[in-house]
Amino acid sequence: MLRKLFLKDARLNPHLFWGVIPFFAWVAYALREDGAPVGMLTVVSGVMGAATAATVAAREDRFHATALLASLPVPRETLVLSRYLLAAVAGAACFLGAAALAALLPWSSHALGSIFDPRTVVMALVIAGSSVAVMLPMALRFGLVGVVAFFAVLQVAGVVLFFIASMFGLRQPMRLVFGSVEAGLRALHASFADAGASALALAVLAGALWLSYRLSVWLTTRRDL
């Protein structure tokens, strides 16, 4: 059943698969520079791939084809599971695609050890996994509107933060925010040098994904189509 759902998604969303070509062209271009941030490129690729599942779910809703899909002999729980598996497969494929470019392109000078640095792999899993855990329930329950609303909420939160910071006389508050995020990500990346911290992060991620999956199943089975 899951294979059929995968094939269906592949057939319905060919542009998503073709759409990664320009992205990987950009990755290849970025890798030409000395000291290119290969970790960042592979992590972003993984996140982009994983987000495909939310896009596919949103497109299903846009075609008003959710009722059609739910009328076929497929349990709704399996539909939800297929989206999470799609996120895992597409995320892994994009991560490996970017890693393969970094390893094989003649102008890329990155060693395999730095490309497949365990800290970077864990980082990719944590960021892509947590993005999926937040986005997929929204996309499955509210479709395209859910995905757009998710980013709109982030946008509004940014603006509110900006005004609050301005009220307290902070100059360039966004720089502070982005700087804090960057510093946090760097600290997180560094902490994954410790195997215990990595194991804990992966355990928390697994729990978050399980909760997200159960929430998605609950929302989807109660959604009136």
Partner 1 sequence: MRAGDARAAESGGEPLLEFREVSKRYGEFLLDRVSFSLPRGYICGLVGPNGAGKTTIVKLLLNLVDRDAGRIEVAGLDPAEHETAVKARIGFVHEVPTFYEHLSLEAIGDIVGSFYTAWDEALFASLLVEFDLPPRVRFGTLSRGMRTKGALALALAHRAELLVLDEPTAGLDPVFRRALLERLAGYVSDGRASVLLSTHITSDLERIADFVTYVRAGRVVLSATRDELAERWAIVRGGPALLEGEARALLSGWERAPHGVTALTFDAPGLRRRLAGHEGVVERATLEDIMFYTGRSC
Q: Give residues in contact with partner 1 (CB under 8 A).
A: 4, 7-8, 11-12, 63-65, 67-68, 70-76, 221-222, 224-225
We find the least distance from the C-beta atom of residue 137 to partner 1, in angstroms, to be 17
We find the least distance from the C-beta atom of residue 64 to partner 1, in angstroms, to be 4
Residue 170: what are its φ and ψ, rounded to 5°?
A: -75, 135
Residue closer to partner 1 by CB (options 162, 218) is 218
The identity of residue 178, as a single letter, is F
Residue closer to partner 1 by CB (options 12, 103) is 12
We find the least distance from the C-beta atom of residue 147 to partner 1, in angstroms, to be 19
Residue closer to partner 1 by CB (options 5, 147) is 5
We find the least distance from the C-beta atom of residue 27 to partner 1, in angstroms, to be 29
CB atoms within 10 A of CB 32: 12
Residue closer to partner 1 by CB (options 67, 159) is 67
CB atoms within 10 A of CB 130: 18
